[in-house]
């Protein structure tokens, strides 16, 4: 490569590379395949260093704890742990309402999962605990499996057949279902982590997660709205459950408890306002104001002092047991019934947790192991489920508090667990008079970020309409069909868009930017020029069973090669019949119509000429040369062909299957039988290897049709055409010399060679004749001319 005087320009001088010529000059690296025994020895060998590395990968605490900087990190972790502990305590109480279990179990869910994550987690900032979306998903499942009708019992106190709801039995059953599902979620997550399939979360794209979480926010809002209003509603689950709940709320809106409504509204306004202050002045406020804690303390004191329950019939927590309950084994018989929902919850919980962990890992310059996170969350949920917890994940607000208050490691997580433990053992009893509407308002206030995702819709529509459709379809399906079905619909629709985009991809006809080796879409730029007689087609998709028909149908060359071949065969057949009948004559230069004989097959045209030109279309019966681009003396319209070469740009073909190989080979044969050469360029090595494996090459389809770049193929085609144009005058002179016995001057040949070299200065590349070609011509001709030997065509050879 040579830089020009202008440093923005450069000039390249090299050979034209086909796959064959490139392979001759550049040796490939041979991949040595290892046998099973060698692989087992490599992966199953053991050493002290390898054993330590495996232990550190399973228990990341062994890696970071010995390197803990006490003086630099401890103070930040202590402040962070206390702040996060207060937030986690209140969120545990609030999110328990979403799970449809007593609030005390929210405290357990905020405590137990932290312990195994301290040992197994790879994130330094993730605050493990209840997550509103997974809590709501479990709550929907719990409601669907424990409807109120199932717990109605008859009353023996009156003579009538009155019934009442057995709340204690219903709560016990709901706790059993919630904890069993939590264990099953953990089993799924642990199994996926052991199988190293953390990549599965990649199928949950950002638009899909955005639509899903926004829909979940709507479900959470509706479920908490009925608590803020304290109106009686029926338990609904499944398809259109949110619609039925809203109908129930507005049907009973007159029964709203004013004390709960006012407490909820005040809590919501205060929390939103202070959270906005924390966000706007985060640079000045080193520790965010724990407004949830302050509001909870104030609301509890007011409720206790005024006695809202007795005076205004307000809904309060009533009872929070002190201390821990004994661990309980899950009800294995429920596994089959809840497996589908548990798998959805496992994926959603993991996806959100890993997404949040990656945000803070990127911010602080460390990495997390997705598969190890699967294992860590799985163990957290199995362990927590046995101690009466519901599914643990993370909440962005809680993790943000842990990070923003100076947390550096999971030491802050352990201190968070200590604060929650104090609440379970000591403080819990003091919160029994707290109104549920206050907790519900805290939950709704924390949904602000999820609702704000609605403003992503116009941005997505401008940036990528397909991503916007994924967002909308997921949101609509999750809102109206339920979160589990909505997630499934979203994933299916997302994968469908990928399939359709590969099945019906973008394609283009390319042209050359003058004086460069750059080729672009001719419809996009004004100064693009198509090489004369050459069509360049780019297909931007894998060539597989789903896209081959589209590839074949959209191969834009201006004509259908099958139709052209059939029309030519039909015309040639009629011409042969007319020749046999004597109505047409053949000459040295082509087919001549005999005007003295009647030609019933001839289509009269006053301006047409009776003489046709020749083209190479051999037949078994008669050797006839016909120019199909001229007017034919038969009633057959043959499409005219303006190209002689077709280049297929495979630069965007990521893979090809056996169906694609067969279709490409069929397309090549269709074009080559009507005289159009096909070349394949810009392909990946694995594409060529797959073609070889699938039997692409034979006597007619050879590897010399593959060229490294489009420009290589164009230059080769151009050079071949120049050789063809040069050969005819030389042979004509040789033929004339044989008739006249006059010698042919070697200078004439050299002049033609120089003309050819001058003409080959095209498109920014220098293309020169191989020296052996010039030497071959000059040496042979000089020798023959010196000996006065008569020349014929066999004496002239043109090298490949």
Q: What does the DSSP assignment read for 584-651?
A: EEEETTEEEE-TTS--TT----TT--SB----EEE-SS-EEE--TTS--SSS--PPP---SEEEEE-T
Structure tokens at 520: 């672009």
Scan for tokens 């191989």, then name that residue. Answer: 770
Q: Is the pLDDT of residue 20 over 90?
A: no
Cβ(654)–Cβ(682) under 8 Å?
no
Q: Where are the domains of the chain?
A: 62-153+164-500, 506-560+640-725
148 Cβ partners below 8 Å, 6+ apart? 165, 170, 234, 235
Average pLDDT estimate for 238-266: 90
Q: What is the pLDDT of residue 783?
A: 42
Cβ(353)–Cβ(185) under 8 Å?
no
- Kindly indicate the confidence band of residue 559, based on its pLDDT and cuts at 50, 70 and 90: confident
Average pLDDT estimate for 398-402: 85
Cβ(666)–Cβ(697) under 8 Å?
no
Closest of 263, 217, 182, 212 to residue 98, by C-alpha: 217
The percentage of residues in the chain with a pLDDT greater than 70, rounded to a whole number, is: 82
Write 713-716 long-range contacts (CB < 8 A, 24+).
713/645, 713/647, 713/679, 713/681, 714/512, 714/531, 714/534, 714/536, 714/647, 714/763, 715/16, 715/762, 715/763, 715/765, 715/767, 716/16, 716/18, 716/679
Q: What is the pLDDT of residue 162?
A: 64
pLDDT tens track for 204-238: 888 998 898 899 889 889 988 988 998 888 877 77
Average pLDDT estimate for 55-63: 89
Q: Is the pLDDT of residue 794 over 80?
A: no
Average pLDDT estimate for 56-70: 90
Q: What does the DSSP assignment read for 315-382?
A: -B------SPPPP----GGGHHHHHHHHHHHHHHHHHHHHHHHHHHHHHHT----HHHHHHHHHHHHH
Q: What is the pLDDT of residue 204?
A: 82
Average pLDDT estimate for 249-267: 92
Q: What is the pLDDT of residue 778?
A: 37
Q: What is the pLDDT of residue 309?
A: 86
Instruction: Report DSSP state, residue 313.
Output: -
Structure tokens at 617: 């279309």
Q: What is the pLDDT of residue 199?
A: 80
CA distance linking residue 554 with residue 546, whole number of Å? 14
pLDDT tens track for 436-454: 899 889 888 888 888 888 9
- Kindly indicate the confidence band of residue 692, based on its pLDDT and cuts at 50, 70 and 90: very high
735 Cβ partners below 8 Å, 6+ apart? 793
Average pLDDT estimate for 1-28: 77
Mean pLDDT comparison of 554-563, 667-676, 730-739, highest-scoring range = 667-676
Q: What is the pLDDT of residue 429?
A: 82
Kindly list the distances between the CA atom of residue 759 and the CA atoms of 636, 728, 753, 756, 792, in Å, as whole numbers in the listed order. 39, 17, 10, 5, 27
Q: Is the pLDDT of residue 598 over 70?
A: no
Structure tokens at 733: 């002179």
Cβ(323)–Cβ(424) under 8 Å?
yes
CA distance linking residue 166 with residue 142, whole number of Å? 16
Tell me the pLDDT of the chain averaged across its residues.
Answer: 81
CA distance linking residue 328 with residue 342, whole number of Å? 19
pLDDT tens track for 509-552: 999 999 888 999 999 998 899 999 999 999 999 999 999 999 98
Q: Alpha helices of 526-560 — where are they, by DSSP H?
A: 548-553
- Kindly indicate the confidence band of residue 402, based on its pLDDT and cuts at 50, 70 and 90: confident
- Kindly indicate the confidence band of residue 774, based on its pLDDT and cuts at 50, 70 and 90: very low
Cβ(486)–Cβ(133) under 8 Å?
no
Average pLDDT estimate for 751-768: 43
Average pLDDT estimate for 732-741: 45
Structure tokens at 19: 């796959």
Q: What is the pLDDT of residue 158?
A: 52
Scan for tokens 């932290």, then name that residue. Answer: 114
Average pLDDT estimate for 5-15: 74
Q: Determine what percent of the chain falls in helix, strand and coil, rounding each to the nearest 5.
A: 60, 10, 30
pLDDT tens track for 84-129: 898 888 888 888 888 888 888 999 999 999 999 999 999 999 999 9
Q: What is the pLDDT of residue 607?
A: 34
CATH topology of domain 506-560+640-725: Transcription Regulator spoIIAA (3.30.750)
Cβ(650)–Cβ(687) under 8 Å?
yes
- Kindly indicate the confidence band of residue 798, based on its pLDDT and cuts at 50, 70 and 90: very low
Q: What is the pLDDT of residue 594?
A: 52
Q: What is the pLDDT of residue 664?
A: 94
- Kindly indicate the confidence band of residue 21, based on its pLDDT and cuts at 50, 70 and 90: confident
Radius of gyration, CA atoms only, the chain: 40
Q: What is the pLDDT of residue 691?
A: 93
pLDDT tens track for 560-571: 888 888 888 888
* Residue 16: φ, ψ to 5°: -80, 125
Reported as type and span, the H/E element at residue 663 is helix 658-672
């Amino acid at each position: 490569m040579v830089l020009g005087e202008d440093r923005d320009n450069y000039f390249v001088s090299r050979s034209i590379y086909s796959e064959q010529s490139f392979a001759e000059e550049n040796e490939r690296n041979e991949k040595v395949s290892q046998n099973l025994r060698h692989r087992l020895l490599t992966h199953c060998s053991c050493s002290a260093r390898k054993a330590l590395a495996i232990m550190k990968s399973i228990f990341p605490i062994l890696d970071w704890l010995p390197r803990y900087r006490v003086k630099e990190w401890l103070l930040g972790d202590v402040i962070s742990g206390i702040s996060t502990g207060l937030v986690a305590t209140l969120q545990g109480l609030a999110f328990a309402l979403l799970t449809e279990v007593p609030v005390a179990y929210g405290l357990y869910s905020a405590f137990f999962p932290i312990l195994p994550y301290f040992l197994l987690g790879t994130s330094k900032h993730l605050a493990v605990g209840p997550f509103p979306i997974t809590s709501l998903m479990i709550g929907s499942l719990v409601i669907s499996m424990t409807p109120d009708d199932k717990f109605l019992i008859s009353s023996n106190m009156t003579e009538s057949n009155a019934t009442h709801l057995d709340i204690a039995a219903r709560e016990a059953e709901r706790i059993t279902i919630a904890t069993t599902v939590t264990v099953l979620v953990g089993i799924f997550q642990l199994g996926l982590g052991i199988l190293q399939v953390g990549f599965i979360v990649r199928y949950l794209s950002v638009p899909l997660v955005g639509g899903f979480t926004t829909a979940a926010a709507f479900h959470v809002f509706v479920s908490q709205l009925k608590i803020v209003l304290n109106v009686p509603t029926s338990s609904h689950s499944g398809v259109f459950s949110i619609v039925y709940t809203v109908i129930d709320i507005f049907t009973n809106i007159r029964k709203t408890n004013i004390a709960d409504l006012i407490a909820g509204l005040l809590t919501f306004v205060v929390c939103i306002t202070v959270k906005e202050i924390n966000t706007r002045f985060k640079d000045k406020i080193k520790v965010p104001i724990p407004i949830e804690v302050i509001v909870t303390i104030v609301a509890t004191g007011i409720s206790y002092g005024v006695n809202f329950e007795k005076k205004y019939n307000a809904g309060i927590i009533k009872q929070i047991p002190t201390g821990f309950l004994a661990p309980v084994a899950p009800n294995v018989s429920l596994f089959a019934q809840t497996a589908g929902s548990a798998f959805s919850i496992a994926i959603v919980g993991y996806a959100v947790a890993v997404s949040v962990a990656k945000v803070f890992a990127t911010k602080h310059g460390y990495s997390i192991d997705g598969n190890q996170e699967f294992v860590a969350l799985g163990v957290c949920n199995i362990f927590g489920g046995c101690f009466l917890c519901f599914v643990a994940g993370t909440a962005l607000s809680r993790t943000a508090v842990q990070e923003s208050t100076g947390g550096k490691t999971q030491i802050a997580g352990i201190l968070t667990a200590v604060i929650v433990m104090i609440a379970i053992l000591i403080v819990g009893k003091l919160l029994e008079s707290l109104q549920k509407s206050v907790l519900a308002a805290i939950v709704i206030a924390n949904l602000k970020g999820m609702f704000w995702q609605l403003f992503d819709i116009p941005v997505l529509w401008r940036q990528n309409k397909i991503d916007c459709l994924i967002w909308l379809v997921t949101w609509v399906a999750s809102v109206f069909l339920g979160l589990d079905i909505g997630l499934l619909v979203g994933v299916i629709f997302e994968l469908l868009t990928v399939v359709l985009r590969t099945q019906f991809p973008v394609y283009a006809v390319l042209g050359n930017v003058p004086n460069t080796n750059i080729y672009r879409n001719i419809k996009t730029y004004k100064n693009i020029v198509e090489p004369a007689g050459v069509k360049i087609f780019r297909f931007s998709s894998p060539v597989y069973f789903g896209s081959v028909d589209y590839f074949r149908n959209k191969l834009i060359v201006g004509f259908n090669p099958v139709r052209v071949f059939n029309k030519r065969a039909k015309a040639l057949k009629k011409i042969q019949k007319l020749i046999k009948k004597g109505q047409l004559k053949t000459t040295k230069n082509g087919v001549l119509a005999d005007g003295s004989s009647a030609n019933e097959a001839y289509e009269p045209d006053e301006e047409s000429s009776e003489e046709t030109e020749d083209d190479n279309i051999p037949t078994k019966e008669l050797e006839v040369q016909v120019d199909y681009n001229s007017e034919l003396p038969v009633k057959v319209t043959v499409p005219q062909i303006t190209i002689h070469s077709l280049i297929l740009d495979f630069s965007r073909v990521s893979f090809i299957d056996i169906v694609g190989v067969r279709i490409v080979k069929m397309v090549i044969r269709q074009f080559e039988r009507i005289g159009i050469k096909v070349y394949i360029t810009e392909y990946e090595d694995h594409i060529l290897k797959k073609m070889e494996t699938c039997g692409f090459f034979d006597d007619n389809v050879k590897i010399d049709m593959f060229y490294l770049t489009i420009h290589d193929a164009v230059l080769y085609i151009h050079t071949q055409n120049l050789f063809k144009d040069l050969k005819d005058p030389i042979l004509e002179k040789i033929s004339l010399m044989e008739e006249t016995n006059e010698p042919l001057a070697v200078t004439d040949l050299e002049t033609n060679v120089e003309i050819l070299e001058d003409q080959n200065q095209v498109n920014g590349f220098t293309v020169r004749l191989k020296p052996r070609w010039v030497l071959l011509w000059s040496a042979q001709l000089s020798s023959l001319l010196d000996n006065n030997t008569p020349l014929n065509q066999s004496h002239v050879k043109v090298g490949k």
